Amino acid sequence: MVGNLPARLLVLGAALTAACKSGPPTLPPNPPTEAPTGVDLAPERIRRGSAESSAQGVDTDRPEGRVRAALLRHRDAIRECYERVLPASPDAAGRVDLSFVVETSGHVFDAAAETDAPALRQTRECVLAIVRPLRIEGIHHPLRVTFPLVFENPVLTLSVPEMLLFPRMRLPAQESVAAIVRAGSGSLTADEAAAVLSLRTTDHLACYTPLLRERATRRAEGYARFTLTVGSDGVVGDVALGPLDEPVRASGECHLNILRGARLRATGQRASIAVTLAMRPQEEPTPPPAARR
């Protein structure tokens, strides 16, 4: 036994040296030691695709202002928590009510969140993962904070540029349209929607040009207006026919059926798209008749 003593001492020494190098164990911050003051923050509205924030103008001289500003510095990450669920649940919307305690050290304790919207449960857990590690400077007395987050996915309203139709017009190249669609990301844009709808230009011309072969309507020109309702999957669910000029009225139903077959990029957001078709026998509008002398 005595002969093995030096070896044992060497092992013990190596263990002590390793413990010293690793430093003392990291302990969690102490919980609040005095009763916290209740603070109810005004709700923050977070819209899909919007970077707007009510953080501007927050009075950071007040404790509640410091708390609000600290959370809203992570607003983009909180919005991403919401947008992550929208492809599978495009109608997900509602409140997530945050509650937590901030101690004078600035550490956050007892963070919890509630929501009545089942589709927002994943968002709730994601937001809590952002809030729990926060450290908020300048808190001199413990605070018990409640902070409602209101998540919104409103219908996107677009109006595409006027689509001009006339015989022998130059048709858009499908390659350029495909490049626009492939480059699309995030919310749908008016230019992208116009590019997709332009793929059916030949079909729209086929609705209009027969009018020009009839004696009574050979100079027919005018406008047809439509509103497309697009689902979160990019499929056109409904097309409403708006004002339709009398000279081209006969082509309205034909255009309507073509627009019903449009398919746009799935964005996880519903959209309403205003479309105007301008139909002319020639590229330029027919000049008004000269005034009689």
Q: What is the pLDDT of residue 1?
A: 46
Residue 261 lies in a domain: yes
Give me the pLDDT at residue 204, please. 96
Boundary residue ending a domain (152, 174, 200): 152
Tell me, yes or no, whether 289 lies in a domain. no
Q: Residue 14's CB: how many other CB atoms inside 10 A?
A: 10
User: Are residues 137 and 221 both part of a single domain?
Assistant: no
Q: Is residue 285 part of a domain?
A: no
Report whether 229 contacts 236 (CB < 8 A). Answer: yes
Long-range contacts of 114-120 (CB under 8 A, 24+ apart): 117/92, 117/93, 119/85, 119/89, 119/91, 119/92, 120/82, 120/85, 120/92, 120/93, 120/94, 120/96, 120/151
Q: Which of 152, 182, 199 is the last residue of a domain?
A: 152
Matching residue, tokens 């040296």: 17
Domain co-membership, 142 together with 43: yes
pTM exceeds 0.75 = no
- Say yes or no: 163 and 129 in one domain: no
Whether 1 is covered by a domain: the verdict is no
- Residue 14: inside a domain, yes or no? no
Same domain, 213 and 103: no
Averages of pLDDT over runs of 10 residues in the chain (293 residues) are 51 52 53 79 90 65 92 94 89 95 95 95 97 94 96 93 92 68 75 92 95 92 96 92 93 96 89 96 81 64
Q: Which domain holds residue 218?
A: 156-279
Q: Are 49 and 153 in contact (CB under 8 A)?
A: no
One domain for residues 144 and 162: no
Q: Which tokens hold the place of 291?
A: 């005034």
Query: Within this chain, do residues 62 and 90 fall inside the same structural domain, yes or no?
Result: yes
Residue 285 is predicted with a pLDDT of: 82
Kindly state whether residues 133 and 162 are assigned to the same domain: no
Residue whose structure tokens are 């409904």: 238
* Secondary structure of residue 3 in the 3-state scheme: helix
Among 130, 152, 174, the domain boundary falls at 152
Residues 170 and 222 in one domain: yes
Number of domains observed in the structure of the chain: 2
